[in-house]
Chains A and B, each alone.
Chain A
């Protein structure tokens, strides 16, 4: 008998078989060891009965049962294994586990620090109820410096990267507090809303840790931001339940806990939750599937359909867009949502895979958003002088232009990619290169708008 040229030893065959088994989520390593012991016994028994080793191996594997059926049977007995556990991150060797624990301790330390920071102004007699605007202006400064600090610590950033970030926070602190705003005026609201956007860039630079210059580094930060938003929303929902129950149960014994919940539990909890959420995203990034791209997949076709139908309705009825005073903000939100959907589907796309149906849906979404926005801008441009340039309108217009430019060029790049004339990477690069633009515009709104519009 002739040995086939590709004959492999029994050990190699068992190795291969073991690797197949290990890929099954429901079959753990100990089970693989148990099954391997069985397989070896079986092979030994068959060889003793006179079979050749490779024949014995084949028969033994066949008797073991089809891998799918076997894995299904294990899954039925150990159904919990199909759910990846959130809290207990499995780690194989001891060393990374120790590092994971230090990381967790540090993250919770920063979280506590952020929670305490929220209450520090109280030491100087600045109460939350009487000084709402102080707290709103400094909202991001209670949290983001600690988040940045966590990443500075985690990525071991040197002073060259770290000092500009610290300076950015100091500058932000100055501009948040020196302007003599008209109480609840337009520029004040704008400054409060844009400060976190501008400072989020500082977090990103710290997060990327020296990789900010690379597309991948910035893309990772985009992924991180999306996952953090989801974790934060989940924690906020949980926090709401805890707060409600706290108030209700204390009410039952005649204690009013509302003040405690509003002044302590919610603000401190929210500040800490940003840090805890960031740590969770970091710790779980390889364990759990990213959620943001999943949501994107669900909502991209839906929203594309909405926009296409909207366009059709405008064309069919001939109704002009009813220009109310601040209608532009609604269209800004539409564009921002489309950019978000685009960004997160890009973040999860395999660069190598060829254009598919989903890409066509994506392009439809972008182009219909551009058309909708063009109609709105057309309607507004005709009457903008009539309304006058209030800070809100200028800010909304600026944002519209920024998002429009982003989407227009994205559409060009995407269509090139679909027609096989460009690579997907160029779209990715465009989106990640664009990130500082948002922050820069936000910084302009925070720094230049108030004096420009006389703190209105």
Chain B
């Protein structure tokens, strides 16, 4: 199943912030976590994560630092800031509202239509 680009773009901020809220992390690990959580259904193009991280950094939602990783290479770690946590809480409320609305609608649709195939022609 492929998820629409707009949906990916819209959900990337809360997803990244929520993963960072679990603990400091870096690009590759964040992507791995996304894959894990979505069961492989959310396919991000790897490189695209970084502009998102940089935007969050510019907005002050996360802060970055360079550290030596266990491999000896330098690695850029990100940490969520109090501002980022507030943003995450806000995002969460919004997504819950969207989710609740859709949830209600799915319920209503399944009553009037056969749930398996939904030919909306």
Contacts and interface: CB of A to CB of B under 8 A. Distances in A.
Contacts of A34: 27, 50, 76
Contact of A38 (B28, B55, B71, B74): B28
A211 interface: no
Which of the four size classes fits the interface of chain A?
Answer: 20 to 34
Interface string A43-69: 000000000000000001001110001
A127 B55 CA distance: 60
B46 A64 contact: yes
Scoring B27, B50, B58, B74 by chain A CB atoms within 10 A of each residue's CB, the highest score goes to B50
Given A73-B51, A74-B51, A37 B46 contact: no
Contacts, number: 57
A322 interface: no
B67 to A, nearest CB: 11
Q: Is the interface of A mostly helix, strand, loop or mixed?
A: helix
Contact of B54 (A60, A63, A78): A78
A79 to B, nearest CB: 11
Interface in A52-97: 60, 63-65, 69-70, 73-74, 76-78
Contacts of B115: none
Contacts of A77: 51, 54-55, 58
Interface in B29-75: 45-48, 50-51, 54-55, 58, 69, 71, 73-75
A40 to B, nearest CB: 7
A301 B69 CA distance: 59
Contacts of A37: 26-28, 69, 73-76
9 shortest A-B CB distances, which residue pairs? A65-B45, A65-B47, A41-B28, A77-B51, A70-B47, A64-B47, A73-B51, A63-B46, A34-B76
15 contacts: A37-B26, A37-B28, A38-B27, A38-B28, A38-B46, A38-B47, A63-B45, A65-B47, A70-B47, A73-B47, A73-B48, A73-B51, A74-B51, A76-B51, A78-B51
